[in-house]
Structure 1
Amino acid sequence: MRIATYNVEWFTSLFDRRGRLLDDGEWSSRYNVTRGDQLGALGIVFTAVDADVFLIVEAPGDGDGRDTVEMLERFAAFAGLRQRKALMGFANETQQEIALLYDPDVVTAIHDPQDDPPDCPRFDRSLKIDLDIDGRLDRVVFSKPPLEAVLETRDGARLRLVGVHVKSKAPHGAPSDPVAEVRIAIENRRKQLAQCLWLRRRVDLLLDAGEPFLVLGDFNDGPGLDEYEKLFGRSGLEIVVGEDQPPARRLRDPHARLNKGGPFAAQPVSARFYLKDARQYFGAMLDYILISPDLCTAAPSWRIWHPFDDPGCYKVPELREALLQASDHFPVSLDLTLAAAPKPVGPPIVQS
């Protein structure tokens, strides 16, 4: 079974106000890429990755006459994908939904949000936590509530999936005042860490229940990624992974630990951004697929579909160019060999 996470930049801009595809020569929201070219590139990428289940980060926005599930399924039909069924969790107001696109001949999926108030409420609600250690509880919400789903293969293998798009730490909208920029950056870091603490509480509950699961998506974070990590002691990703926990309670993804090798170690990259001031690109590792310890026996194999770093992608010019046109992130995939009918995680799934 192959599961992938893919952050598609401005996917929402490839559909009109009625949710119809904009396969034309007008500019997309990606720099110097037309809407038709981006749609074509996405079709090539989705086909090449060939995952049974895609977590789509920044899926087209839902509401105001548009339906995320319908738009994704319309895109799948346009691109001729076998992943023709879509599933969405809680909608948000950012035009960037979290959704699944999957092959219904291989796997079924249901939205299955968990709720354990007050310490770990449902992700579309709020959590009270003391962010700045002032003795007062702050109210934390997800701008993009994580998607919780249960997957079941045709032979009965089941696992839980938590798809995330954690808040960015970048001081977007900050004034030119350097002091204000630092203040906003620290506030954003606190919110990002609070969301990761909330996610870790869900992870602990799933570990206690003995359920095989994945936590995947765009964490906007990683060990050593910015200077504020020293101020707070650890990254949000390390909190979700459980770096301070014993091995039996620690999630696994080899890309989450490569930064531990020091400044001269090879660093993985899942996203590529252009710096206008420096007039060059820089890479960052933001997208992860974290697995529960019990899935380590399922022969897990991770891959970052990077157009330059992955030899298989680089040697195929059409795929290499499509990866660059489609998004500023690259897919990350995980291959698993699942045994039939592991520990049950709920009632049988009924495909709607």
Structure 2
Amino acid sequence: MRFACYNVEWFDRLFDDAGKLLNDGGWSGRRDVTRAQQIAALALVFRKIDADAIMVIEAPDDHADRSGTRALEGFAEAFGLRTSEALIGFGNTTQQEIALLYDPSKLSAVHDPIAALDDAAAPRFDGAFHIDLDIDNREDEVTFSKPPLELALETARGTKLRMIGAHLKSKAPHGARGRDEVMRFSIANRRKQLAQAVWLRARIDGHLGADEHLMLLGDLNDGPGLDEYENLFGRSSVEIILGEAGCPCLFDPHAARALARKIGGAPTTARFFLKQDNRFLQALLDYIMVSDNLRAKAKSWRIWHPFDDPECWENESLRNALLTASDHFPVTLDIDI
């Protein structure tokens, strides 16, 4: 089977309130890209990766007046994708949901949050987690702006697994003015992100302790060496979620490669334009992590990078579509389950 994780930048802006595609010349949420251009690019990319299930990060908005599942299922129908069913868990107010788009002939999926809101060690993800972020002997309350999506899956072969889709808080100092405020915002955002990672890891420990098959897919907005504040805290969110040596751990080969290298090239899954520097920044932000009991069944991980993946580079239409569709690139895992 093939699983994918794909952060689609401002997917929501491609649909009207009825969930119909706005396939026209109006501007999308992408820089200098029309809605029609982004839609065509996404259709090509989704067809090409041909996954059995895609964890869509920044999926269309889902609330009383808009249906993210209707929008995703309409998108799949419009372009003949076999991933014809969509599932969203706890909604949020960011217009960027976490959703699973999947092929119902290959697997079944249900939203299955397993913790109580008042569970102190690992509350349900639409609740609040209490932790001392700044070592002042007072607990801070941490919430998810985008609560992780917890799923119970069963493949057509009968393999049962737990799946978590996650989109951790960005560390970017949005709204900060001046060097001092940028520093304060960046440090505060990193503290909150690390707290979210600790919360997520607590849930992971429960699954691994029960020897369940577990897969975590998402944009963690973090990785080794991404900013100058990382050394203040000792570990990245990615390292916390993967787990420490000696305990049950998750595995992602791209994360392992990046963590093992202090200098030199590392995999990347996202490409952003920095207006102030007039250049592009590349980063490893998107992951598919698996438990040890799934690792032996995993065949290959792949980042569909338009410049680093030979097939993507050589296929001009695919290369251009990847660059037009989003500022992130899909990550896929082929696994025998």
TM-score by length of 1: 0.93
Q: Distance in 2 between matches of 1:270 and 1:178?
A: 28
1:241: which partner in 2?
Answer: 242
**Aligned partner (choices 138, 148, 151) of residue 149 of structure 1:** 151
Paired-residue identity, %: 55
2:135: which partner in 1?
Answer: 133
1:347: which partner in 2?
Answer: none
1:230: which partner in 2?
Answer: 231
**1:47 Cα deviation (Å)?**
0.5
Aligned amino acid, residue 23 of structure 1: N
2:317: which partner in 1?
Answer: 318
Work out whether residues 19 and 65 of structure 1, in 8 Å CA contact, stay in contact via their aligned partners in 2.
no
- 1:1-352 correspondence to structure 2 within 5 Å: 1-115=1-115, 117-175=119-177, 177-242=178-243, 244-246=244-246, 249-338=248-337
Aligned amino acid, residue 297 of structure 1: A
Q: Distance in 1 between matches of 2:110 and 2:207?
A: 17
Aligned amino acid, residue 172 of structure 1: H
Aligned amino acid, residue 197 of structure 1: V
RMSD of Structure 2 on Structure 1 (CA): 1.1
Aligned amino acid, residue 337 of structure 1: D
Structure 2 stretches of 5 or more lacking a match?
Answer: none
Cα deviation per residue 1:171-210 (whole Å; 9 max; x = unaligned)? 01112x2111111111100000000000110111111111
Cα deviation per residue 1:25-71 (whole Å; 9 max; x = unaligned)? 11111111110111111000001001100000000111241101111
Aligned amino acid, residue 164 of structure 2: V
Q: Distance in 1 between matches of 2:298 and 2:181?
A: 48
Q: Distance in 1 between matches of 2:143 and 2:313?
A: 40
Aligned amino acid, residue 271 of structure 1: A
Q: Distance in 2 between matches of 1:38 and 1:54?
A: 18
TM-score by length of 2: 0.97
Aligned amino acid, residue 41 of structure 1: A
Work out whether residues 163 and 216 of structure 1, in 8 Å CA contact, stay in contact via their aligned partners in 2.
yes
1:343: which partner in 2?
Answer: none
Runs of 4+ in 1 over 2 A off after TM superposition: 259-266
**1:102 Cα deviation (Å)?**
0.4
Q: Distance in 2 between matches of 1:101 and 1:146?
A: 15
Work out whether residues 69 and 87 of structure 2, in 8 Å CA contact, stay in contact via their aligned partners in 1.
yes
Structure 1 stretches of 5 or more lacking a match?
Answer: 339-352
**1:261 Cα deviation (Å)?**
3.9
Aligned amino acid, residue 188 of structure 1: N
Work out whether residues 258 and 266 of structure 1, in 8 Å CA contact, stay in contact via their aligned partners in 2.
no
Cα deviation per residue 1:315-350 (whole Å; 9 max; x = unaligned)? 111111110110000000011112xxxxxxxxxxxx
Q: Distance in 2 between matches of 1:81 and 1:37?
A: 18
Aligned amino acid, residue 143 of structure 2: V
* Corresponding residue pairs, total: 335
Work out whether residues 298 and 333 of structure 2, in 8 Å CA contact, stay in contact via their aligned partners in 1.
no
Aligned amino acid, residue 108 of structure 1: S
